[in-house]
Chains A and B, each alone.
Chain A
Amino acid sequence: MLCEECGKNQAEVLMTTVVNGQSATRHLCRECLKKYQAGDLQALLAAILSTMAGKLQETDEETPDIICPKCGETYAEFQKTGMLGCAECYQAFRKELAPVITRVQGRSQHAGRRPPVSEEEQARQTKMEELRSLMEAAVAEENFEEAARLRDELRAMTPAREAKA
């Protein structure tokens, strides 16, 4: 049989991949196998991106390309290279990236190390926790006017990025 990746060479090996607890087997030629072994997840990502791109085109061809306002990278560029242009790209392409990242990584929420929190940020978080408990108390006392005021104050303190998420 022919290689399922390139469709040109004779398939010589059976490759098993396990992503997200689901295993898949594919018949590959030596050349294509090398690509997978060398590129780790990168080749897999490219494969996923190209299938997703195909699907997107089928459903609505008129979709204008999304552009990162900071570095000017387009989503189409990312689909071609698998590389993002800057940290802001993750925000600009958030909706499109989310299913791709979840599929490649198997999970969608970071765990582990974080940047140290500045004193300013620490103070902001403490203040927000205070406001939140005051608001809950106000609701419990049926003081809805006060609760609404606290809610607005809380909203004003939430950075745009967190509010979106």
Chain B
Amino acid sequence: MSEIVVSSRVRLARNYEDLPFRNKITKEQSEECVRRTLEALRPLPQPYTFLPLKGMEANEKKALVEAHLISPDLMEHEETAAALIRDDEKISVLMNEEDHLRIQGFTLGENLNDAAECAFSIDDALQEQLSFAFDPQWGYLTACPTNAGTGLRASVMLHLPMLTAQKQMGKVNQIAAKLGLTLRGIYGEGSEAQGNLYQLSNQVTLGKTEKEIIDAVAATARQMAEMERIYRHKAEDKDAVAFEDQLFRSYGLLTNARRMPIKEFMAHWSNLRLGAALGKLPVSLKTCDALLTAAQPAHVQKAAGTALNDKDLDAYRSELIRNALV
């Protein structure tokens, strides 16, 4: 499965009963939100890092967004926003985002249940000591009613290069919509999905149990992975040389280029991962997925240690890529 499902994520939206939501909260109340969350989570066994956004370097924040550890939305409230991230990066708790808390569980590959268990463990620890806004009819109450109920968003990152190439994404989108799920590109803007990476997630949060929501996303992801697999085989059967040629060309470019813009990288990365998934290229899926994050702009900038202009950034990226692959 992990040859197509890159990662799984479960997010819970929670708000403290006695504090106003984002639009009406004062600075002092936002600080209280952080204070009581940290206090309640203090006895957790594993090591965590606490990161207040205020005063953090701009590139550092961007790198956290690139690693999906914080949301772009959190950056809009940097005066009061903060994140608590478990050192293995499987759990992050965002404070003072759209809701008081966004609790995220994360795993590599297809394992939404594991991601959910991570999020629930934090939810349980907090609820033992603190009261969340809850209504018997509408469940956990959120700043925007579109998140009320379970407050749960289950999502998987899918790598669908052949479905994209064979123009099947319209059909795949319709399957998702019929089941109350949404599919969208993760990188790039609008309808363009850089790297052929998509996020499949639930739309509706009320009226279904956490398990029902998670099972629906997981089952649909499996169905889409099966479709992708079929198209991979079809392409190979049709013209194996052309198929391999495409993969090896990207591998050749990534291992030799001296300047690699991000957009070009994303296109070749997709072929690299496809080649790794099929065992055709001498690279592991783990290396591929680590490279995906490591080659994003803020990560390259961070690794360089000094502020780079665009051209130098592309040059440094190519070096990082070669070091990872060769």
Contact = CB atoms under 8 A, between A and B. Distances in A.
Contacts of A18: 177-178, 180
Interface string B132-162: 1111111111011110111010000000000
Report which residue of A37, A73, A115 has the largest number of chain B beta carbons within 10 angstroms of its beta carbon.
A115
Contact of A90 (B22, B24, B141, B185): B141
A65 interface: no
B210 interface: yes
B15 interface: yes
Secondary structure at the B interface, as helix, strand, loop or mixed, is loop
Contact of B136 (A71, A72, A110): A110
Contacts of A87: 15, 17, 21, 133, 135, 141
B207 A113 contact: no
A38 B136 CA distance: 30
A107 interface: yes
A106 B180 contact: yes
A115 B127 contact: yes
B8 to A, nearest CB: 18
Interface of B: 15, 17, 19-24, 98, 120, 123, 127-128, 131-141, 143-146, 148-150, 152, 173-174, 177-178, 180, 182, 184-185, 189-191, 203-212
Given A16-B174, A113-B123, 12 more contacts: A16-B173, A34-B190, A37-B190, A41-B146, A45-B145, A71-B20, A86-B20, A86-B24, A90-B148, A110-B140, A111-B208, A112-B208
Contacts of B174: 16
A109 interface: yes
A16 B191 contact: no
Contacts of A113: 120, 123, 140, 150, 209-210
A100 interface: yes
B205 to A, nearest CB: 7
Given A30-B190, A111-B207, A115-B132, A81 B23 contact: yes
B24 A116 contact: no
